[in-house]
């Protein structure tokens, strides 16, 4: 089923709101509790990330931590210097086309 532009816009807005709220939790040091084992089991059947992040390959902090998101909630593409090149673009296209990430 295709997602309409209006529905996609609404889901993108919700995704941004979730990321911003998660970042505020991270800043306050109030990260949400996570049950990684249960979440990993659920993700075995597939993923439907709420956002796509192009980030730097810097190993010091992950986007999942900065935005206080659980496993499978962010599709992360990491490159040195956050450079968009064909492989990175293809990864983002995959997340949009196949995973329906807003």
This model's pTM is above 0.75: yes
3-state secondary structure string across 46-68: CCCCCEEEEEECCCCCCHHHHCC
Three-state SS at 44: coil
Per-residue pLDDT of the chain (102 residues), as tens digits, is 455 555 656 688 999 999 999 999 999 999 888 888 888 888 999 999 999 999 999 888 899 999 999 999 999 999 988 889 999 999 999 999 999 998
């Amino acid at each position: 089923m295709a997602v309409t532009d209006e529905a996609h816009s609404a889901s993108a807005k919700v995704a941004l709101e979730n990321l911003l709220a998660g970042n505020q939790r991270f800043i306050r040091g109030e990260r949400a509790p996570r049950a990684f084992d249960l979440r990993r089991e659920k993700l075995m059947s597939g993923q439907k990330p709420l956002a796509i992040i192009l980030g730097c390959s810097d190993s010091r902090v992950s986007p999942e931590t900065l935005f206080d998101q659980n496993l499978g909630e962010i599709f992360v593409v990491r490159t040195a210097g956050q450079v968009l090149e064909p492989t990175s673009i293809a990864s983002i296209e995959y997340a949009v086309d196949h995973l329906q990430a807003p």
